[in-house]
Amino acid sequence: MTERTERAAGVAEHAVQERPLRLGTRRSKLAMAQSGQIARAVRELTGRAVELVEITTYGDTSREHLAQIGGTGVFVTALRDALLAGEVDFAVHSLKDLPTTQPEELALAAVPPREDPRDALVARDGLTLDRLPRDARVGTGSPRRMAQLNAYARSHGLQIETVPIRGNVDTRIGYVRSGELDAVVLAAAGLSRIGRIDEVTDFLSVDFVLPAPGQGALAIECPASNADLVAALAELDDPYTRAAVTAERALLAALEAGCSAPVGALADLSGDGRVVNEMRLRGVVGTTDGATLVQLSTTGPVPTSHGDAVALGRELASEMLAKGAAGLMGERVL
């Protein structure tokens, strides 16, 4: 190789290193807000520019309800395809949308600190769940929420009608503002990320509505072959959040349920104020009418490895299956 060729190769290599990192994201307002947050963190971490690459997923274009289109992977497949094709360098997902099986070619490089995992009610006239009028219509796109809301209503003497809806946050809240619905239920974390948390009229306690596994957490994914990027993104990882969501997702996987099945799970971490040393994992499966729920919990030491977190999730799933959980889920992942 001549000196000129070597110099040109060096310039080209430097240009590749310094080009902006391409972050793949869905086009929704929420996805763009989440991705923008991560982009800023990666810029500060690496000193490199980050550009957002908007990608449309099947879940964004389909107007069917999630239970009808299968749910699993509908919001992430196009992003993963772009990663594998080299069209983007990394991608940001809502962790609850990720299938529980991780492709070998892709690394789940970071799970940043989790935001509020609870569901939240946005209702007309500032109403809370317990103060909704008789026959109030409550919109949600989630069979999990329907199951638990209807179960709560049955046990507390409320008469509400859960209505399946699709659409982004603006569309869903618009149903309330127009008077078509009395209330809608959304993830608190999403409302916070787009600056609309003040519109919440009631935060739903996890004691009666468990969130989706991984709700409130983000997942940063990149090609496993890019070791330098995997290592850089890993600086954004929160080990406690990762342990919690790993246990929740292991429960979901062991139940053989997809992300649109009526399954809720939440891992709580606790300690003595100085050291976090205990994890409580709660899980629920129910029929969408709320007539039947299987809800159990287990407690153990904070997992110190991926395998320990997975074992905790599988243990609780096994107990739930023994109580009849398998017959309550509307879909299976083959």
**Model pLDDT for residues 232-246, shown as the tens digit of each residue:** 999 999 999 999 999
What pLDDT digit, counting tens, does each position of 125-141 carry?
A: 999 999 999 999 999 98
List the chain domain ranges. 3-112+216-237, 119-204, 241-328
pLDDT of the residue at 275: 83
What pLDDT digit, counting tens, does each position of 289-312 carry?
A: 999 999 999 999 999 999 999 999
Looking at residue 318, its amino acid is S
Q: What CATH superfamily classification does 241-328 receive?
A: Porphobilinogen deaminase, C-terminal domain (3.30.160.40)
pLDDT of the residue at 58: 53
pLDDT band of 259, cuts 50, 70, 90: low
Helix axes 306-322, 239-254, angle to 10 degrees: 40
**Topology, domain 3-112+216-237:** D-Maltodextrin-Binding Protein; domain 2 (3.40.190)
Of 35, 76, 58, 32, nearest to 259 by C-alpha is: 76
**Mean predicted confidence (pLDDT) in 273-289:** 91
Contact 227, 195 (CB under 8 A): no
pLDDT band of 68, cuts 50, 70, 90: very low
pTM, two decimals, is 0.86
Contact 89, 50 (CB under 8 A): no
pLDDT of the residue at 56: 81
pLDDT band of 183, cuts 50, 70, 90: very high
Q: Which are the catalytic amino acids?
A: 97
- Rounded Cα distance, 162 and 118, in Å: 18
pLDDT of the residue at 327: 80
Q: Nearest 5°: CA angle at 193, between 188 and 198?
A: 60
Same fold, 3-112+216-237 and 241-328: no
Q: What is the average pLDDT value for the chain, to the nearest integer? A: 88
The Cα-based distances of 163 to 3, 74, 135, 160, 174 in angstroms read 70, 22, 11, 10, 14
CATH of span 119-204? 3.40.190.10
Spatial CB neighbours of 210, under 8 Å, sequence gap ≥ 6: 144, 148, 264, 265, 266, 282, 283, 284, 295
pLDDT > 70? residue 201: yes
pLDDT > 70? residue 102: yes
